[in-house]
Amino acid sequence: MGSRERRAREKEARTEHILGVARTLLLKKGLHATTVNQIAKLAELSVGTIYLYFKNKEDIFAALQEEGLMLLNQKIVAAVSAAATQQDKVRAICSAYVEFSETQSSYYDVITYFLSTSEQFFPKRLKTRIDRIGSRILIYCSHVLEAGIEAGEFRKVDARRHTIWLWGTLNGLIQFRKMEATMLQKESYRKIVQYALDNFLDTLVVK
Whether residues 49 and 73 share a domain: the answer is: no
Is 154 a domain residue? yes
Q: Tell me, what's the pLDDT at 121?
A: 66
Whether residues 39 and 123 share a domain: the answer is: no
Whether residues 65 and 23 share a domain: the answer is: no
Residue 161's CB is within 10 A of a number of other CB atoms, namely: 11
Whether residues 42 and 85 share a domain: the answer is: no
For residue 176, pLDDT beyond 90: no
Is 160 a domain residue? yes
Boundary (domain end) residue, out of 54, 74, 93:
54
Is 207 a domain residue? no
What are the Cα distances from residue 23, in Å, to 37, 53, 71, 113? 14, 16, 15, 11
Can you tell me the distance from the alpha carbon of 159 to that of 151, in angstroms, rounded to the nearest whole number? 14
Whether residues 29 and 79 share a domain: the answer is: no
Q: Tell whether the torsion through CA atoms of 149, 153, 154 and 156 is positive or negative.
A: positive
Q: What is the CATH number of the domain that holds 17?
A: 1.10.10.60
Whether residues 197 and 174 share a domain: the answer is: yes
Give me the number of domains the chain comprises.
2
pLDDT digits (tens, 9 = 90+) for 121-147: 677 777 788 888 889 999 999 999 999
- The mean of the pLDDT values for the chain is 89
Boundary (domain end) residue, out of 13, 34, 54:
54
Q: What is the CATH number of the domain that holds 138?
A: 1.10.357.10
Whether residues 44 and 62 share a domain: the answer is: no
Boundary (domain end) residue, out of 11, 36, 54:
54
Whether residues 82 and 159 share a domain: the answer is: yes
Can you tell me the distance from the alpha carbon of 108 to that of 189, in angstroms, rounded to the nearest whole number? 17
Domain span at residue 4? 1-54
Whether residues 126 and 144 share a domain: the answer is: yes
pLDDT digits (tens, 9 = 90+) for 71-116: 999 999 999 999 999 999 999 999 999 999 999 888 888 888 776 5
